[in-house]
Amino acid sequence: MILSDQDILGAVRCGDIGITPFDERLVKRNSYLLRLAGPFRRIAGDETLDTADPESFARCEGVLETGDSVVLTPDALVLAGTRERVSLGPSLVGLLSGISNVARLGVQVHATSQLVNAGFAHGAPSRLVFELSTVGGRRVRLYAGTPVCHLVFARLSAPAAARHPSGRTGQLGTAPSRLLDQFGHFYAGGGGGAVAARTPLTEPSYVQDTRRGQGPVGG
C-alpha cells in the first residue's frame, strides 16, 4: 500500500518515517519531495573499471566538487546527496522518482537504484544519494536546495526481519560504489584465481576514507 499525504504525516509523527529537516510544504499527495545537496562527485573518463580490482575502483571514484550548484553534462555521472536525512521503520520501503519539472529538463535523478530498503537507517537518519545524468545532449545547472525527487513510501504486508543494518546507514556524503567491498566474495568465489587474488579481505583504504566523507552543503 502506497502512503497518502495523511499517512506520511502520521508516520512522521509516530517515528516510522524520519526526515530531518522536515518541511510540511514538501509533503505531496503520495510522496515527500527531497532536495539536492552537495558535495557533488563527478565520475567520467573512458577507463574500463575492473570490478574485481580495488586499484581500478580507486582510479575511477571520481572527483569531489563543492559549491552551491553543479553542471550536469551528457558525458558524466554526478553523485549528489539529499539535504534531508531519512530513516524508515521495518514495515516501510521507499521508492525514488524524479519530479516532472526536472525530468522535462532531460535530467535523470537515479541511474537504476531507486529502492530504499525497509528499515533503512532506522533510528539513525542518513542521507540518500542521487545518481544524476542528462539525456538529449543538454547541459543543465542545478542548485543545492532544489526539490528534484519524490520519495514514495509503501507499507509491507509484514515487518522485514532485520538481519543486519543497512549498508548505507550513516552515510554522510557521496561515497563511490562499494560493490567489491560488499559483494566481491560472491563473484570472487565463483570465478578464477585471478579474481580471488585481487579481492581484498578488508576494506580498501579509499573506501574507509570516503565513508568518513563530508556532509552535503546546506545539511
Residues with a catalytic annotation lie at 131
Return the C-alpha torsion angle 173, 174, 175, 177, nearest 10: 150
C-alpha cell recorded at residue 154:
509503501
Other Cβ atoms less than 10 A from the Cβ of 63: the count is: 11
Distance CA 67, CA 49 (A): 28
Distance CA 119, CA 117 (A): 6
C-alpha cell recorded at residue 121:
537507517
Nearest-CA neighbor of 41 among 91, 77, 5, 87? 77
Long-range contacts of 133-137 (CB under 8 A, 24+ apart): 133/72, 133/74, 133/76, 133/77, 133/78, 133/107, 133/108, 134/72, 134/73, 134/74, 134/105, 134/106, 134/107, 134/108, 135/74, 135/106, 135/108, 136/74, 136/106, 137/74
